Each structure stands twice: as structure tokens, then as C-alpha cells.
Structure 1
Amino acid sequence: MPRDLDIILFGATGFTGKHALPLIAKFAKTKTRNLAWGVAGRTEKKLKDLLEQCEKDTGTPLSDVPVIIADVENEKSLTEMAKKARIIVNCCGPYRFFGEPVVKACVEEGTHHVDVSGEPQYMERMQLKYNEKAREKGVYVISACGFDSIPSDLGLVFLQKKFDGTLNSVVTYMESWEEGQAVSGPAINYGTWESAVYGLAHAQELRALRKELFTTRLPSFKPKLQAKTVPHKSEHLEGWVLPFPGADRSVMKRSQRLFYEKDQKRPVQIETYFILKSFWSVFLISIFGMIFQFLAKFDFGRSLLLKYPEKFSAGFFSRQPPSEEKIEKARFSVTLFGEGWKEKLADVNDQYSTPPDKLISAKIKGSNPGYGATCVCLLLAAITVITEPEKMPSGGGVYPPGYAFANTSLIEQLNENEVTFDVLFEKDLSDSKH
């Protein structure tokens, strides 16, 4: 069925949506493509005012951009929205509460869907409930298309392609900082804090969900990558290393499972960390982390966390959105270190009898991870789904981004738009004591 629009940006007046708007105007119409797009949300006036302000800010004519009224609490409005476009870019979170009705409408109407969720329960539940129907409809539903988790998940895909041999394990280190003089105030929007509170509160759901979703265990490959759960110094980078609490590892593991089950590729073992420069920062984040974990278990504790985010995050989160100056100064990098063998074995399930003999490292970096890099990743992911269908996994489905975009040009597009992927070095370990 012909669609009026290629892309609809749903939730355009929200914090992420506002930052995505000027980018969709930029990416939709270039020398090589001319995509029709619109905006959707609950309030027509707010949407039109937003378009008018964006036109003033960017100089791009936007008066003819279609405005669609849609509400996550109105199923009919979501169905009508989904019928109008080839893909919905969903910026309405937390996705635990607001994501599924949009996914359902998209799958039923044969419309692709991308979002920036970093919520494992939501993502894996959508895979369990909608994967088969999405395949029947030829629809792609892809979450984690922002800072969570394109840099890490596609970063691992990038590393695998650059590694001539067999990659056994990868360790990732995320760093973030402010360029120049630090600006006071919250760094991340309240919606991310809300997602984290409810995600931790319902973390126990994941065990049962994964038992149903992943009915078979992956084989155990040696040498086994050991997780480090206490703060420690890195042999590779400066600073103190802590386990990364975000969704990256779970998203990457889903991609690796798919590569193994569908493409007969050896799954890479993964551990994810983040780096802090001082032990004082480690101490503070450990204290706040323990308080957060305790309070998130109880209704009363969650209400405190949600009511007073500044007090329970040392000012990092707030009900007030971060300033534009703050987010524009933000920078990030994800550095990956992978070990494996130069030699390839005949069968994917074969075990090596010698220690890994090759090390490779790559870095993904960019600016404004929460809203700049995230929106670049999100919109280019959406555009890739509809412009490179022959390079997507055959038949549609509910996928993580690494597996979904492995054979597309998304990494090259990101490199052209300030989210860069670079190999740092390769090293022969065969002569080293290891």
C-alpha cells in the first residue's frame, strides 16, 4: 500500500524529539535522497510552534511539513499514524510504559519502527511478543538506536570486520566528559532517570523473560572472559574502571546470538565498563549507586528517587532539562579491546587449543551523546531501514542494531556525521607472555 510519508517523527515535542527535528530536516533531503517526512504528537499547536521555531533556527522551510495527531493512549490514532508512513521514529519514552502500543500499531500496519530505548525488559519483551509477526509482515522493529547502544553494538560489528581471524572476546570502556570549562546543572534528561528507576525496580523480570525468549544456551567457548565487578585500574586506559550499568552488554549479546544462530558465526564474549578519572568520583558514585539500588526496590523509595532526582544523583539528573550549553559541551568515547586468533577453524563450534594470539582496539567517539549523537544515530538508522532494504536481515523481525545494520552503510554514514569509528591498533600476541 502506498504511503504518504517515508518517515514520521513521533513525540517531536519531547526533549529528544526537539533535538531530532533539525536533523531529520537535514538528512531527509540531500543530493542523493528526497524523503517525505512529518511530525506527530498529541497537540497540534505545539507541533506547529515547534516547526516554526525550527524553521527560524535553521533557515529550512518547514511550513509544509505534515502534522499528525497521535497519542499513545489512543490506539486508533496510532493505527492511523502508522498507515501514513514507511517508518515511525518513536521518541516517546519511557518505553516500558509507552513503547508497546506504538510497536503493536506499526507491526499490524506493516510499518517499520525504531526507537532509542535503553531498557532491556522492554526490548526483549518486544522481541518475544512481536518478532514472528514482524517477520510475517516484513517489518523491522529496532530499539537501542541511540547512544544506547549503536556505538557499542555496531562498534563490535566494526571490530569483527576489521579482525582478520576469529574474535574471542571484547571489553568496552565508555568515557564521557565536558569540553572546555564544565557547565553546572543536570547533564541528562529526567526521562532517562525515570527509565533507570523502573528498570532496576523490575530487573528480576529479565530472568523469566530471557528463559522464554532464549530457549537454548549458547555453547561455552574458551578461554572464558572473566567479569570484574569491583573498581579497578585498566591496563589499557587511564582512570578507574567500573561495570557499565546500561543496556549495552545485553544488546550486544542479542546481536552475537543472532550472528551465531542465523549466520553461523562464533559469538564474541563481552564485558562492558565505564571509566572515571578519580577515586573520589568512584567513591561518590558507589555510595549513590548503593542508595539508588536500595530505594528502587520499594514503592516509597522509588517515589523519593523520582521526586528528588537531583539529591539522589549528585545533581547529574533533574526534573529540569539540561541546558543547551551543557549538552553541547558533552563528549563521549567507547573504546573496544578485542582478543582472538589469527587462524580460523573449520567449524564455528570448534575450540582453540592455544591462547589468543592477536589483539585489536577501536574507538567510537562523538559529541553530545544524550541528544546529538543519539539523534544522529537514530535518524540515520531509520533512513537506512527504508533506503537499504536489500542489506537488512532478510524477512524483517525485531532486532538489536548491531545485527540489523551489520551489512548496511550505517557506519560509513555515521563517520560522515561526526560519530566516528576508527581502528587504534592491532598487535601480535604470539611472542608475548600472555
Structure 2
Amino acid sequence: MARDLDIIIFGATGFTGKHTIPIVSKFSKTNGRHLTWGVAGRSEKKLKNFLSQCEKEAGTSLNDVPVIIADVEDEDSLNAMARKARIIINCCGPYRFYGEPVVKACVEEGTHHVDVSGEPQYMEKMQLKYHKLAQEKGIYIISACGVDSIPTDLGLVFLQQKFTGTVNSVNSYLSAWEEGDSLPGPALNYGTWESAVYGLAHANELRELRQQLYSSRLPSFKPKLEAKKYPHTTDLLKGWALPFPGSDRSVVRRSQRCFYETDAKRPVQIETYFMVDSFFRVIMLIIFGAIFSLLARFQFGRNLLLKYPEKFSFGMTSHEPPSEEKIAKSWFSVTFYGEGWKEELANADDQYSTPVNKAIVTKVKGRNPGYGSTCKCLVLAAITVITETDKLPSGGGVYPPGYAFAKTSLIKQLDENGVTFEVLSEKDLSSVNN
């Protein structure tokens, strides 16, 4: 079927969509590409206003960019939108409420789909419901294509590629900071806060979903990587490490399961943490986490969290979006510590009889994690789907980004555009373990 456009940004008038527009404008015309694109949403006037606002950052006129009217509550409009493009970049969240109608339209119309969801329940539900249908249509549905969770998922793929031998386990440490003096005001968009509230409220759905999604557990490998559920320090970074409550671990585990079940590769064990610079902040986060967890369980509590985000997030989020100046000063990094063996065994299920004898430290780093790096990851992921389809998993399907993009040039493209991947050190552990 001939398509009018290569790419459509759906939800282009939202905060993420707004920051995606100039990046699509840039990357659609780089590296010899000449990709066509448009924007979609409920209001033609609002879409045209946003295009006008983005012209300065894009560095070019956007007057001729096609505008498509589509609404998540209007199935026909979503199908008509999906028929116009090779891939939909879906920026309309929370995906728990607004994601599935767009995925359904894309599957029905044979259109690829990417989004920036960090919501495990939504992602795994889409895999359960649409994986086989997507394979029948030969299309790719790939969520978590932002900083949730490309840096961690593809970061682990990068670590494995640089590790000669077999990786057994990895600990990842997320750090975030502002350069210079910290500016007042929220750092997170309200949509991210809303997704977190509902994600925790419905976390009990995951067990049943996973029982339906997977017929068996992954095999247990030794040495087993034990999770540290308490604040602790690491030689890699300054500060305190706490268990990361985001979706990175669940996304990585889905990728590792795909590598094991489809490619017969030994799955890597992973635990994910985030860094806090002082013990005082550790205490404050523990108090915040306890209050947040309690309130999110009840409708009354969720109403309070959503009505007064500034108070319950200690000013981290608000109904007002973060300032452009503040997000431009923000940075993130994910540091990985991996252990394994120099030697490879013949089969993915084989167990090693010797202690691990090799370690590696790698890092993924970028500016403006919520919107700059996230939008670069999202747009380059979408372009990779339609330009390197032959390097994606054969036949189509619903996949996490690490498995979907492992054989593509996406890591290289990100590294060349501000989301950097590097090896920090390698170490022989033979003498340590003898």
C-alpha cells in the first residue's frame, strides 16, 4: 500500500510531541535521508500553532508540514491516520489510557508504531494482545523508546557487544543532575507523574499478565545476582544507590528473554539502581516513597497526588511543564558494572563451574533526559524501523527496544548525536577470585 508520509507524530501538541517536532525535522533530512513527515492531533489550530513555535529550533519553515486530525476516542480517525504513514510516533500518554487505540489502529492498517511509554502494564499487555497480529502484518510495535528505556536496554546490549566472553550479571546505576546552579521549578512533566501514580496503583496486574505472556520462567543461572533493596554505596560513583522503581529492569528482562528464546543466547541478570548525592536525600526519598505508595493504592489518595503534584513531589513536578532553561541544563548517565567469564560455553543453558573471571564498566550519557535525549532516542528509533527493517527481528512483532534494535545502527546513530556509549574499564578478576 502506498503511503502519503513516512512518519506521523501523533500527540504533537503535548510536551513530548512539541520537542519531537524539530528533531524529526532535522533527522528526516540527514545522512542522505529524504523522509516525509506530518503531525496529528485533535486540533488543527493547535497543531499549526505548535509548528510555528518550533520553526526557530528547527531552523526551517514548517508551513508545509501536513496536519492530520485524529482523536483517540475516534477509531475511524486513528485508522485513517495510520493508513497515511509507514510509522506512527505516538507521544500521547499516559499510555494506560490512550495507547492501545493507536496500537490497534496501526496493527489493523499495517503501520509500524513506536512510543516512549515507561508503563510495564501497558507494554506487556500490548505484547500479549498484538504480538501475533503484528507478526501477521509484518510490522513492529516498539515501546520504551525514550530514556525509559533505551539507555539501559541498549546500554546492556552495548556492554555485551564489548565483552569478549559471556556476561553473567549487570548492575546499572542511573544518575541525574543539573549543570551549574539548580534552577527553581518542576523538573518532570505532569504526564510522567500521572503515569507513575497509575502505574503503582495497578502494579498488581503484572503478575497475571506475565503468567499469560510467558509459559515458563527463565532458567536460573549461577552465580545469582542478588538485589540490594536498601541504600548502599558503590566504588563506581559518589553517593548512595537505591533500587530504581522505573520500568528499566522489566524492559531489559523482556529483551533478555527474547535473546534466550529466539536466539539461544544466555540471558543476563540485571538489577537497576539510581544514585542520590546525600544520605539526607535518601531519608527524604524513603519518606516520599512511603507516602506516595500508600496514597497511590486508594482512589482518594490518587486524587490528592494528581491534584497537588507540587506538594507530594517536593516541587519536582507540577501541572505546569518544566522551563526550557531548566531542562536544557539537565543531564543523565547510566553506569553499568558487568561480570562474567572470558570463555564461552557451547549452549545457552550450560552452567559455569568456575567463578567469574572478568569485569567491565560502561556508561551511557546524555543531556536533557526527559525531552532532549528522549526525543532523539524516539525519532532515531522510528527512522531505524523504516530504514533498517531487514536488521530487525524477522517477521515483525511487539518487542522491547534492546532486542528490536540490537543488530541495527541505532547505538551508533545515538552516539553520534549526543547520547554517548563508552567503555570505561575492563578488569581481569582471575587473581581476585583465586
How many angstroms does 1:238 deviate by?
1.3
Query: What whole-Å deviation, never above 9, does each CA across 1:84-124 have from its counterpart, x for those lacking one?
Result: 00000000000000000000000010000000000000000
User: Could you tell me which residue of structure 1 aligns to residue 257 of structure 2?
Assistant: 257
The residue number in structure 1 matching 2:284 is 284
Q: Does 1:394 align with 2:394?
A: yes
Partner of 1:413: 413
Q: Deviations over 1:224-270 (max 9, x none)?
A: 00000011111322110100000000000000000000000000001
**Alpha-carbon deviation of 1:51?**
1.3
Q: Which residue of 1 aligns with 2:18?
A: 18
How far did 1:288 drift? 0.5
Q: SS in structure 1 opposite 2:237?
A: coil
AA of the residue aligned to 1:14:
G
Match of 2:296 in 1: 296
> What is the rounded CA distance, in whole Å, between the counterparts of 1:53 and 1:302 in structure 2?
34
Q: What's the offset of the Cα at 1:54?
A: 1.7
> Aligned pair 1:58/2:58, yes or no?
yes
Secondary structure at 1:346 match in 2: coil
1:114, 1:221 → 2: CA distance?
Answer: 33
Q: Which residue of 2 aligns with 1:342?
A: 342
2:167 counterpart of 1:185: no
Alpha-carbon distance in structure 2 between the residues aligned to 1:397 and 1:353:
37
CA distance in 1, matches of 2:16, 2:77: 21
Q: Does 1:431 align with 2:404?
A: no
How many Å apart are 1:31 and its aligned residue? 4.2
- Aligned to 2:203, the other structure's residue is in SS state coil
* Number of the residue aligned with 2:75: 75
| Counterpart check, 1:85 vs 2:85 | yes
| Aligned residue number for residue 95 of structure 2 | 95
Match of 2:227 in 1: 227
Aligned residue for 2:338, secondary structure, equals strand
Deviates more, 1:74-83 or 1:57-66: 57-66
- Change in CA separation of 1:248 and 1:430 when aligned onto 2, cut-off 3 Å: same
Matches within 5 A, 1:356-367: 356-367=356-367
Structure-2 change in CA distance of 1:31 and 1:169 (3 Å) = closer
In structure 2, what is the Cα distance between the partners aligned to 1:350 and 1:325?
A: 52
Structure 1 CA distance, aligned partners of 2:110 and 2:381?
18
Q: After superposition, give the CA deviation of every residue in 1:364-396 in whole Å (9 maximum; x if it has no partner).
A: 000000000000000000000000011111000
Shift, 1:155, TM fit? 0.2
Name the residue aligned to 1:371.
371
* Structure 2 gap ranges (5+): none
Gaps of 5+ in 1: none
Residues 115-169 of structure 1: per-residue CA shift (max 9 Å, x gap): 0000000000000000000000001000000000000000000000111000000
Looking at structure 2, the residues matched to 57 and 111 of structure 1 have their Cα atoms a distance apart, in angstroms, of 29
- Counterpart of 1:394 in structure 2: which amino acid? S
- CA RMSD in angstroms comes to 0.8
- For residue 239 of structure 1, what is the aligned residue in structure 2? 239
Distance 1:199 1:55 in 2: 35
Seen in structure 2, the aligned counterparts of structure 1 residues 325 and 56 have a Cα distance that, compared at 3 Å, is closer
Counterpart CA distance in 1 for 2:307 and 2:235 is 40
Structure 2 partner of 1:317: 317
- Find the aligned partners of 1:204 and 1:31 in 2 and give their Cα distance: 45
**Which deviates more from structure 2 when the two are superposed, residues 204-213 or residues 48-57?**
48-57
**Other-structure match for 2:39:** 39
Q: Does 1:158 align with 2:161?
A: no
TM-score normalised to the size of structure 1? 0.99
2: CA distance, partners of 1:167 / 1:428 = 13
**Counterpart amino acid of residue 368 in structure 1:** N
Change (3 A) 1:354 1:56: closer
Give the whole-Å Cα distance in 1 for the aligned partners of 2:379 and 2:269.
29
CA distance in 2, matches of 1:323, 1:71: 28
Shift of 1:57: 4.2
* Aligned counterpart, 1:272: 272
Distance (Å, rounded) in 1 between the aligned partners of 2:58 and 2:319:
28
Stretch of structure 1 that moved more, 22-31 or 183-192: 22-31
Q: Could you tell me which residue of structure 1 aligns to residue 110 of structure 2?
A: 110
The residue correspondences of 1:191-206 to structure 2 (distance < 5 A) are 191-206=191-206
TM-score of the two chains, using structure 2 as the length reference: 0.99
- Describe the shift of the 1:179–1:359 C-alpha distance in structure 2 as closer, same or farther (beyond 3 A): same
Secondary structure of the structure 2 residue equivalent to 1:54: helix
